[in-house]
Amino acid sequence: MTVLTDPFVSKKFSLKNRLVMPPMATGKSDDGKVSENLLAYYDEKTKGGKIGLVIVEHEYILAEGKASENQMSVSDDSDIEGLKKLADVIHANGSKAFLQINHAGGKAVIKEPKSAGAVEFARRNEPAVLAKMMTQDDIDHVIESFAKSASRCKAAGFDGVEIHAAHGYLLSQFYSPLYNPRTDAYNGTTIEGRTRLHCEVIKAVRRAVGEDYPVAIRFGAVEDLEGGAAAEEAPLAAKRFEEAGADLIDVSGGMSGYIRPLVKDAGYFRNETDAIRKAVNIPVITAGGIETREQADELLASYQIDLIGVARAILKDSAWAEKNMD
């Protein structure tokens, strides 16, 4: 029976165990750059070398796609030096490291954000904003920027890159029938249209980093919203991601985020992850509310899941991995 401490080996990468620290935004950057506080945070979380894989919090690929004021940047070559220091800290503590790259779309912190369509987006403590529908030139620029950012990730020494397509950001907006009113090739009414941008980004990233470099995608597989993305569609989308060149699918929520009010058991997306894994030939990660080693092992035993993401438990207790991975 597979347990959390077992090694993991796939075609593109291997890990000492199956524990993943998922991306969690810290707000510790200094004007988009890696700060000393950020280095100290990741040093503290990875000391002891018990975490198999750390997926570093999302970095914006374009200033127009910035999700928060204190988000880190991978939008310029000048970011590479600081990111290399971050990769080195994680590696020195014995963990592998992927970097997550993102565009916030309609949720970006600018006056006139762009999205799949002219859709209104709520703002925390501010009036809602109406996004502009992206033109083909806008879309092409985003695809190119994802690819360039992935190249910077590789240049900085990270072991892989993760494309953020969850939690209501740009790629989630294209995937959601509720937020994608388009009628062109990126339409919001077919799986092919809703995943077209995802697949084009994956292919562009693959061309940029080469065949041997791991490319993951964090996929907002389900929306607990009436008329939103349905769970039964997720395996079809995931298969398209695999065919486009993805090496790993990190399963989470879409426009409704990473919390599921009606799902209380550990591993909020366990059923969606299991269904996706049965449809693809690449590994999958599940996460959501996993707080104990027993819960992690039960998920590995009961579902077709390869890797376990433990987020808030590690956020609360930096020694969680050392306490639970013997």
Catalytic residues: 169
- Which residue in the block uniquely carries the two structure tokens 């995937």? 175
Integer CA distances (angstroms), 210 to 56, 150, 154, 161, 215, in order: 21, 10, 10, 12, 10
Q: How many CA atoms lie within 13 A of 326 on its CB side?
A: 5
CA dihedral of residues 86, 39, 70, 116 (deg, nearest 10): 30
**Where are any strands of DSSP class E within the chain?**
8-9, 14-15, 19-21, 53-60, 72-73, 96-102, 114-115, 120-123, 126-130, 132-133, 160-165, 215-222, 248-253, 284-286, 307-309
Longest dimension (CA), the chain: 53
The CA distance from 197 to 178, in Å, is 16
- What is the spatial distance between Cα 295 and Cα 233, in angstroms, rounded to a whole number? 27
d(CA 93, CA 96): 9
Residue 130 backbone phi and psi in degrees, to 5:
-95, 120
- Give the DSSP letter string of 225-246: STTS--GGGHHHHHHHHHHHT-
